[in-house]
Chains A and B, each alone.
Chain A
């Protein structure tokens, strides 16, 4: 077997980096969706009405306990039959955001539970309206303490974006695959993709750990 081919590596690198941009774009948009939807789930799971809590809880559990890849296929193949067509990237972002929102919901829940009871009591003693209590008192404190946990899920989501290749999104993995299919050499592109993931994910996770330590004390 031929050993590592540097000139071929240099040849595929621009395509891989273009794929990296798509990967980062999907991660960023997916994160925004996951942060917002997760908050919606977390708040819905605290409403007094069982008729909201129960179905939301069931849907969240279902999404969390089934594979993202299959959910992506579902969105990719089923939505068009219902007359809804998105670009593959948009479908991928929706899939990622929806899947990870079930995790961020749990993160928010823990964050909200972590706000001391005295804060609720003080808000009650001041007769602050429920809405105001959430917006001005509880959520600012809850979200602050969940930033590292949310960050860790962004990293996890980043590492899951290669799944979008399966629904034809031209991310890093898809670029590597196409390069490999063209030249019958997969070693270089896929190794580079793997290394790029570590190169980005590892420092980011170090950052989150540092943040965790700082906010933890």
Chain B
């Protein structure tokens, strides 16, 4: 199965090197400062989870990386390069609301970008897509339209779609919050598999603390636009130092 799973190790990125770097990044929306001179790095192959109360700026980080937003100040480096449309191709994203293209069948949702962005031949893209859809357990739904699938299935297609671009970094934006409770497990299982069996770098925002504990190498606790505490999951969940972290964790549990 591991062979199906995308991973990419280019010469510049040696394992353990820095892949994502935020330098004093500030983002404001009107009068509110969502990110305040934020510094943090994510190393190659690591799985980092952002937790914190809503409105604390977690999702903003993902949207900045996706260039859906631009920072007001500071720099963002990915793989050592400043973020632009070209560098963005190294990043994949899975959205809370899936955002599958409703006008395309499942298979084409997954092949569209590899064909038109990476320039893969149709056959190559189809082969890659089939492998990935098989992996997320939807090998039988290639010809379905997104509306014919359950939310959990749609989200798994969205994961396959993101992976088909062979990103170095996968951004996961509360990927289970729009799902009915009984569908959450299937999606998390797929992500757990990917986290274990590949060296893809993951940056997730989630409210699923068990999942965060399970897959993360490092957890960052956010509050009011800053990282107030970070460390391995055992430390953050087991013995949080900061008062706000303790409050937050007891509130979500």
Contacts and interface: CB of A to CB of B under 8 A. Distances in A.
Q: Do chains A and B touch in the complex (CB under 8 A)?
A: yes
Contacts of A124: 66-68, 88
Contact of B92 (A125, A132, A141, A144): A125
A1 B106 CA distance: 71
Interface residues of B, number: 25
Contact of B103 (A121, A126, A128, A141): A141
Interface in A106-152: 116, 118-119, 121-122, 124-129, 132, 136-137, 140-141, 144
B172 to A, nearest CB: 12
Contacts of B95: 118, 121-122, 125
Residue of A124, A126, A128, A132 with most partner-chain B CB within 10 A: A126
Contact of B113 (A118, A128, A140): A128
B162 to A, nearest CB: 7
A216 to B, nearest CB: 15
Contacts of A141: 101-103
Q: What's the dominant secondary structure at chain B's contact region?
A: loop
Contact of A127 (B88, B99, B100, B102): B88
B85 A137 contact: no
Interface string B44-68: 0000000000000000000000111
A118 to B, nearest CB: 4
B104 A136 contact: yes
Contacts of B89: 127
B224 to A, nearest CB: 25
Contact of A144 (B85, B103, B116): B103
Interface residues of A, number: 17
Contacts, number: 60
B251 interface: no
B112 interface: yes
Contact of B117 (A119, A121, A129, A137): A129
Given A127-B117, A128-B112, A129-B116, A122 B100 contact: yes
Contacts of B93: 125
A128 B66 CA distance: 13
B85 to A, nearest CB: 7
Contacts of B97: 118
A132 B93 CA distance: 19
B165 interface: yes
Contacts of A126: 92, 112-113, 117, 161-162, 165
B193 to A, nearest CB: 21
Given A122-B101, A140-B103, A141-B102, A128 B67 contact: no
A127 to B, nearest CB: 5
A146 to B, nearest CB: 14
A119 B102 CA distance: 9
Contacts of B88: 124, 127
Contacts of A127: 85, 88-89, 113, 117, 165
B107 to A, nearest CB: 14
Interface of A: 116, 118-119, 121-122, 124-129, 132, 136-137, 140-141, 144
15 contacts: A118-B95, A122-B95, A124-B68, A125-B91, A125-B92, A125-B162, A126-B113, A126-B117, A126-B162, A127-B113, A129-B117, A136-B116, A137-B103, A141-B102, A141-B103
The 7 A-B pairs of least Cβ separation, nearest first, read A122-B99, A126-B113, A118-B99, A125-B93, A140-B103, A127-B89, A132-B116
